Structure 1
Amino acid sequence: MPHSRHHRVNRKGHFRLILSILPPEKTAFFAQFDAQLCFSCHPVNFSPNFFPFSGFGLCKSAKYAILLVKYVTGGILFMANQWLSWLPFLPADVPADFASPREVAAFELAQALPTLSPNLHVSLAEDDSLGEGFHAVRKGDDVTIFGGKTGLLYGAYWLLMALASGSALPEDHSSAPQYALRMINCWDNADGNVERGYSGRSLFFQGGKLTYDPARMRQLGRMMASVGLNVLCINNVNVHDPAQLLIEDDLPDLAKLAAIFRPFGVRLMVSIDYSQPMRHGIPTADPLDERVQAWWKHQAEVVYAAIPDLAGFLVKADSEHRPGPFTYGRNHAEGANMLARALKPFGGMLVWRCFVYNCQQDWRDEKTDRPKAAYEHYVYLDGQFDDNVILQVKNGPFDFQVREPISPTLLAMPKTKLALEWQLAQEYTGQQIDIFAMPVMWQELFADMPRNSIMAMAAVSNLGNDACMTGHPFAALNFFAYGALAWDPDACQPDDIIHRWIRLTYRFAPDDENALADVLLGSRHAYEQYTAPLGICWMVTPNQHYGPSPDGYEYQAWGTYHKADRNAIGIDRTADGTGYVLQYPEALRRRFESTQTCPDELLLFFHRLPYTFKMRDGRTLIQRIYDDHFEGYEWVERAASILKALPLPDFDRALVDERIGRQLHNAREWRDIINTFFHRLSGIEDVHERKIYR
């Protein structure tokens, strides 16, 4: 990347410039970006009302070209592939030589305040007793932010985003994270592919090596810090060769990457291969074998000598063909504790995913019920895990489906440290093509989960190396909202967080803001309406998981069945069925056990019902299925019309228009295929006589 200097022009003035100094022969490179990144070349008008970065100019000298970065008011800022989403009021990069969060905080404040609030004077006062929290005190135009090393940075971003979103500054404001670890899990492979990635290739890897743009790493560090996220695991939990080398031969390169993120308060974590000692002549990975224990102890010493603040290791074991302690007749407490003890002298955490189930289940097996698996594998071990082990549990008992109940494992291990795992990557929720705002879904789950049942949060990344790092511009909302949720679930009301993101990202007029907010708030319900009905799950196209295939997973080995026939659909998971409901505390058990109290959206997850079953609103089950699919498609049509009328910036406009067109096609396919599937099975007509194919 070219060297960049950032200059603040006129402390009380209205504009700043970001200058990138490039030799003339490099300017053609930027011209090639014109179509992709929506750059435009025109003179910069330095009027008194000039907004930051409001033009893209080009000045040539004999030796250098000076590029003035374009900022489209209410849009996304780019400089050499830089994308800032909800932080458009900041310069495109942070200087590479900063070593501490305090330096970053001071820089961000100095750059943004002249525009956001030129009369405001902000001081930073370090107070280690506040840890990651901060305390802001305002007296007139003077604000003092107190905080620990990272708390100062979080406080600075809180202040700037409050100003940028038009929020009133309180005279006294304190905030601290509810959870100690707030993690992003990237599923990036060493070859540059991203498993379940929908935003381009890896930000970190290419050709088997760590290969990255340092400016984009700083950009990612800033994004994470601005919403309070503090741990980044850069490689896939399915650790494929040569990713094992991250903690071996590639360790010096990993240490350089850790140094880039350190000033943003972000610590790296690494996914490891449980069988890694076998690469070094040890014939086993048995956690009770002394040779295995010694190898991991030594390797932890090597790793922490290079990266003293590494957050720890992330492990997927005995799952979907990954090696693990079950191979040697050991349980997962024995497997996890061995690794945790290697990390403990250095303060490292061992994060152990609880995604363990029989992925070779015979579809004829009527006793095994996949949602029961995590509870059965882990709950009996409660209290047996070391204190630096965190069990990472998915939000639901299946696998990030559109609608699942809360995982009972999250409610049943009071003596064990737990992390709640979400998936920002939209594997089953539209793949960053279809709009799917997640905050409403998260709020519903937290209604059933005591806050103190977990001590950490993790989310599978939705980022990639596309110009828009989340693929769909609106998918950035989910990253933004996840940070807010991980910091304080009680402060993350869906309506509030969506409006705040829109104000920061676009600065629309109120009517346009409300229109986009309505689309985002309704997107999850609409997607649920036009896909698999009422909690049944798994009607997606196998492997790729986009688009409908009602029987695609019905006879496969993944435990993903709906058992629809001509009379009924659904799985009986009551006490008289598979017994899954018995894993819940009494209050939830009673709610889910009865069709009279079970939420409609989960009815077919817990119950097998005839198509003529009368819903609480008087409709039959089959009519509800028909209605939902017609209504879901109609919602997408209305959303497309609303989005077309919004004053989106050019870059966003191109991405949104292309994706809403694909969403319309996807919703139509879902509507027609699912309705036809059930009509052919049941033979029951739609009472409204709408078009269903025979």
Structure 2
Amino acid sequence: MRSLLFLLALGFAAAEDGSAAWLRYAPVPGASNYRSLPSAIVALNSSTSSPVFVASQELQKGVKGILGKQLSLANGTNKASSSIIVGTADAYKEAYGNFDEADELEDDGYFLSTKGKNVMIIGQNPRGALYGAFEYLSRLGQGKFSPVSYVSNPHAPIRWVNEWNNMDGSIERGYAGLSFFFRNGLVVENVTRAAEYARILASLGINGIIINNVNANATLLSTRNIDGIGRIADAMRPYGVQVGISLNFASPQTFGGLSTFDPLNPAVDAWWANITDQIYKRVPDMAGYLVKANSEGQPGPLTYNRTLADGANMFARAAKPHRGVVMFRAFVYDNHINESNWKNDRANAAVEFFKDLDGKFDENVVVQIKFGPIDFQVREPPSPLFSTLRNTSTAVELQVQPEYLGQNCHLVYLAPQWKEILEFDMRADNKGSKVKDIISGERFKRPLGGSAGVVNVGTNATWLGHHLSMSNLYAYGQLAWDPSQEPDEILQDWIRLTFGFDRHVMNTIVDMSMKSWPAYENYSGNLGIQTLTDILYTHFGPNPATQDGNGWGQWTRADGFSVGMDRTAKNGTGNAGQYAPAIAQMFENIDTTPDNLLLWFHHVNYTHPLKSGKTVIQHFYDAHYEGAATAQTFVPMWEALKGKIDDQRFNEVLFRQVFQAGHSLVWRDAISRFYHNKSGIADRHNRVDNYRYRIEAEKMTLDGYKTYAVSPFHTASGSMAIITTSNNSVGTATTTIPFSSGTYNVAVNYFDLIGGKSKYELSINNRTIGTWSGDLEDKLGHAPSIYLDGHSATRITFKDIKVNKGDTLKIVGTANGIEPAPVDYVSFLPHGIID
């Protein structure tokens, strides 16, 4: 009966909330053909707090779920029958003797063999044994039953995640709920979810975590919170995940009672040594510290005319006796730079601040470098700092939670972007110098290095807020362990583990995901101009005007005739010259600069011809329409998977794909209209500002509604919307439908503000077509905006509505709170037509 139930389980799409991620251990087809499974699990020399013991439990759970077989657990040797043997190399040698692959193992590495009577999972250390166990279960969970025997070592020693959690329980740039580390200024008592997260991280080979925001709060260093850090470390330790914390540089003064935080002051040095000793007494295996200094208003050593190395080394001295690592962020820049100076450039800041400090950092310091020179944009070249620091250990900082790329409300699979950066050859000393080989320490013979991923998981069951966004966390871990892997292959593994083996599901999610980054780049910002979001507010919706005219340095220098940053050494900011000569020469020359980075390195006329033959401005128009069109296809592609994926995850993903489809049109229209207005150059296809299927709300007959000039103007069709005449009142907008009789998809674009949940009713000839609420702040998991703008602009669509020409269209909006039931326009779309 048990085997029958196991087989039946393969045919059901049971409800899932996403909390199991890729560790579902779901039954796999063909499991009955796997005949070589041992009958027991032997854990070698493991205490209950050891990753080896956790590995044995994980193996038991996984095998039962995947293959439907209960294996017994044993400690010590078991030579009488075939077993899954899991343990360290030293323990295996003591119990069974030497094995040939032992000398190949490096720190955290493992040997996996399924070829003999026993399955061997042997780690260089306990953590490596756990990684090997997860790898074995991953193979089983994907139905990969063929015998294998290989050693797998991590590419780099540092494989960390950064969690921007605040002490009040919020998460900066977090889109998946509240923190499960902090609440009300204190570390939480219940650390169960921290342990669950450690399990997920361990399955990826992640060995370290920074639990608090880089904009750190010094109160984390209180005695009570240090004990709380210990609780988190205790919960994560069995999974081999070492806890670290981010520090506020001014803590000796703001928290410790000193009159200074000068890193060369002996009292300050002693204060950090003392507090570090206290932390390590509670957390003996703490990973180390992360420091953001002298950036975006944060305190740092420059306050006292000390160098960044002086600051980093102060922490390094304190951490060194405990074998702690100091990750010092290279994200150092002045956010009040003067745009009127043609030579000024935020992209130059990292090299300018760090180039003269190369070799002056202590050996346990790692400079953590954002992958590009600005800030996690949709496309940037690799930071030139990677090839500048030859005598300093470095790590690449990637953003798993896409702050500038849709905030997990848009599907954007990021592994192709990361792969492009990691494989980029910086040509230092005119030798092969791929970024992946620099951060591993191999290229410049450094002892440390690796990856730091900004993840920002929260209390949402999906961990990241969007089921499909978990592919980014999975891919980050895979590439941190082995950057030679291909993004599409990583994706396929994740799909099998997360959604099963249906070929249609596989093909659909691969197609959507691999198209998602190019699509987002197309409808947000292309040709290297950056993500044209609102950099002064939420970093979510379109607002290209905010890029210029401020001190933040994410400039596009767009005027009526031209656009782009001149970063050449000859005429511009000199950023191109920060690269090694071979790369500098490529970027300096407009003819050899790739078009996808043209506006990053060159300031050109809108009519400048690209290698495609199109002008810059026409490419802008075409790309934005093409990108938005691609986003529309994700909805029917996903809808075709109904019944093949459990209802909960199917419906939750569908909601976000529908949102993305609508918001991509907001992006398309806003950017196209902005540059159409800026340049005065028409779209040769006559699409911009020519929306034949729309009825503008401000042109309808209004009762209780009034017109409202939306700012920025380009985030509303016709630059106007309607809002109710007062708070908590009712407005009505009516008009006669001018379109031919037929069946349409009727779409309403409106604005969904934080601080209110308006009610809407759409009717034709007093027949209700649909009702809805302005409650996206609940459904999206984060709050985009309190204004009518590109962040709050959204769309709802009612399908297959029969319409007669001359019918009366009516919208009734009931305002709530600060949200005045705002409406932009209504579209009547024939089937197959994109607005």
Fold shared per TM-score above 0.5: yes
In structure 2, distance between residues paired with 1:283 and 1:609: 52
2:262 alignment partner, one of 279, 286, 296:
286
Counterpart selection for 1:88 from 24, 39, 56: 24
The letter for the 2-side match of 1:359 is N
> How far apart, CA to CA, are the structure 2 residues paired with 1:243 and 1:214?
16
Partner of 1:162: 139
- 1:416 maps to 2:416: no
Q: 1:480/1:189 Cα in 2 relative to 1: closer, same or farther (>3 Å)?
A: same
Shift of 1:114: 3.3
Identify which range, 431-440 or 554-563, moves more after superposition: 554-563
User: Contact conserved, 1:189 with 1:243, CA < 8 A, in 2?
Assistant: no
> Which residue in 2 is equivalent to 1:107?
57
1:452 aligns with 2:437: yes
Decide whether the 8 Å contact of 2:164 with 2:211 is kept in 1: yes
RMSD between superposed Cα atoms in Å: 2.0
Percent identity of paired positions between Structure 1 and Structure 2: 37
The 2-side partners of 1:181 and 1:661 are apart by 38
Partner of residue 465 from structure 2, selected from 471, 477, 486: 471
Per-residue CA shift, 1:63-89, capped at 9, x if unaligned? Answer: xxxxxxxxx6477467xxxx1111111
Q: Indicate conservation of the 8 Å contact 1:75/1:88, yes or no.
A: no
Deviations 1:466-500 (A, max 9, x none): 1211100011000001000111111x201100111
Pairing 1:650-689 to 2, within 5 Å after superposition: 650-689=647-686
1:518 is aligned to: 511
Greater Cα offset, 394-403 or 355-364: 355-364
Q: Following TM superposition, by how much is the alpha carbon of 1:140 offset from its aligned partner in structure 2, in angstroms? A: 5.2
1:560 maps to 554
Question: What runs of 5+ residues in structure 1 fail to find an aligned partner?
Answer: 1-9, 15-45, 55-71, 92-96
Match of 2:173 among 184, 196, 206: 196
Q: Which has the higher contact order (CA 8 A, sep 6+)?
A: 1
1:404 to 349, 371, 380: 380
Partner in structure 2 of residue 37 of structure 1: none
Over 3 Å counting, the alpha-carbon distance change for 1:48 and 1:253 in structure 2 is: closer
Q: Secondary structure at the match of 1:47?
A: helix
1:670 is matched by which residue type in structure 2? W
> Which residue is 1:551 aligned to?
545
- Could you report, residue by residue, the CA deviation over 1:527-586 in whole angstroms, capped at 9, with x for unpaired residues? 000002211125212320111111023112201211111211101101121110000012
Distance in 2 between the 1:481 and 1:302 partners? 36
Q: Which 10-residue stretch deviates more, 109-118 or 477-486?
A: 109-118
User: In the alignment, what sits opposite 2:617?
Assistant: 622
Q: How many residues align?
A: 622
Q: 1:692 to 1:141 in 2, by over 3 A?
A: farther
**2:5 match: secondary structure:** coil
The alignment partner of 2:335 has SS state of coil
Asked if 1:500 is matched to 2:487, the reply is no
Q: Distance in 2 between matches of 1:473 and 1:498?
A: 13
Choose which of 119, 122, 132 in structure 1 pairs with 2:108.
132
Q: Distance in 1 between matches of 2:423 and 2:531?
A: 25
- Aligned counterparts of 2:575 and 2:147: Cα–Cα separation in 1: 48
| Alpha-carbon distance in 2 for matches of 1:170, 1:581 | 50
Q: Give yes or no for contact 1:538–1:561 (8 Å, CA) kept in 2.
A: no
Contact 2:218/2:251, CA 8 A, preserved across alignment: no
Paired amino acid for 2:224: D
Q: Name which of 574, 595, 599 aligns with 2:594.
A: 599
Q: Distance in 2 between matches of 1:73 and 1:87?
A: 16
Closer, same or farther in 2 for the Cα pair 1:212/1:597, shift >3 Å?
farther
**Residues 177-224 of structure 1, C-alpha deviations (whole Å, 9 max, x = no match):** 111111010000010010000111112111111116433222101100
Q: 1 CA distance for matches of 2:16 and 2:159?
A: 26
Displacement of 1:381 in angstroms is 0.7
Deviation at 1:507, TM superposition (A): 0.8
Letter in 2 for 1:499: Q
How far residue 591 of structure 1 moved from its aligned partner, in angstroms, is 2.0
Please report how far the alpha carbon of residue 371 of structure 1 lies from its aligned counterpart in structure 2 after TM superposition. 0.1
Three-state SS of the structure 1 residue aligned to 2:538 is: coil
Give the stretch that moved more between structures: 119-128 or 450-459: 119-128
SS of the counterpart of 1:390? strand
Shift of 1:526: 0.2
SS of equivalent to 1:674: helix
Are residues 1:51 and 2:9 paired? yes
Aligned residue identity for 2:155: Q
Partners of 2:5 and 2:294 in 1: how far apart?
64
SS at match of 2:22: coil
Equivalent residue number for residue 353 of structure 1: 329
- 1:49 is paired with a residue of what secondary structure? helix
SS at match of 2:286: coil
Report the alpha carbon displacement of residue 443 of structure 1 after superposing the two structures with TM: 1.0
Residue 684 of structure 1 and its aligned partner are, at CA, apart by 1.9
Does the C-alpha gap of structure 1 residues 74 and 475 become closer, same or farther in structure 2, counting only changes over 3 Å? farther
2:244 is aligned with 1:249: no
Most deviating of 299-308 and 516-525: 299-308
The structural deviation recorded for 1:670 is 1.1
1:59-458 alignment runs, 5 A limit: 73=13, 76=16, 83-89=19-25, 98-117=48-67, 121-128=83-90, 130=105, 131-139=107-115, 142-147=118-123, 148-211=125-188, 213-240=190-217, 242-245=219-222, 248-278=223-253, 279-448=255-424, 449-454=434-439, 455-458=449-452
Check the 8 A contact 1:74/1:506 in 2, yes or no: no
Letter in 1 for 2:57: F
Instruction: Output the CA distance in 2 between the equivalents of 1:525 and 1:75.
Output: 32
Q: Deviations over 1:632-687 (max 9, x none)?
A: 01001111110111133222123212211221222111111111111122222222
Q: Distance in 2 between matches of 1:117 and 1:405?
A: 46
Q: In the aligned structure 2, how far is the partner of 1:585 from the partner of 1:75?
A: 53
Q: 1: CA distance between counterparts of 2:209 and 2:650?
A: 30
Deviations 1:34-75 (A, max 9, x none): xxxxxxxxxxxx8363439x9xxxxxxxxxxxxxxxxx6477
Q: Is the 8 A contact 1:244 1:273 kept in 2?
A: no
| Aligned amino acid, residue 437 of structure 2 | N
In structure 1, distance between residues paired with 2:368 and 2:65: 42
Q: Which amino acid aligns with 2:236?
A: F
The change in CA–CA distance for 1:236 and 1:115 in structure 2 (over 3 A counts) is closer
Structure 2 residues without counterparts, runs of 5 or longer: 28-46, 70-81, 91-101, 425-433, 440-448, 691-717, 719-835
Query: For 2:473, what is the secondary structure of its paired residue?
Result: helix
| Structure 1 Cα separation of the partners of residues 147 and 600 of structure 2 | 46
Shift of 1:332: 0.7
Residue 118 of structure 1 deviates from its aligned partner by 6.0
- Name which one, 1 or 2, has greater alpha-carbon Rg: 2
Going from structure 1 to structure 2, the CA distance change for 1:276 and 1:586 (only over 3 Å counts) comes to same
Q: Determine if contact 2:405/2:531 at 8 Å carries over to the other structure.
A: no
What CA distance in whole angstroms lies between the structure 1 residues aligned with 2:689 and 2:84?
63
Which letter maps to 1:271?
Answer: S
Match runs of 1:478-493 below 5 Å: 478-490=472-484, 492-493=485-486
Question: Secondary structure of 1:489's match?
Answer: coil
**Residue type at the aligned position of 1:552:** T
Equivalent position SS for 1:350: strand
The residue aligned with 2:579 is 584
Deviates more, 1:275-284 or 1:389-398: 275-284
Query: Equivalents in 2 of 1:450, 1:277: separation in Å?
Result: 36
Matches of 1:432 and 1:609 in 2, distance apart? Answer: 33
Give, in whole Å, the separation in 2 of the partners of 1:453 and 1:112: 37
Letter in 1 for 2:404: Y
Counterparts of 2:118 and 2:516 in 1: how far apart (Å)?
41
Aligned-partner SS, 1:592? helix
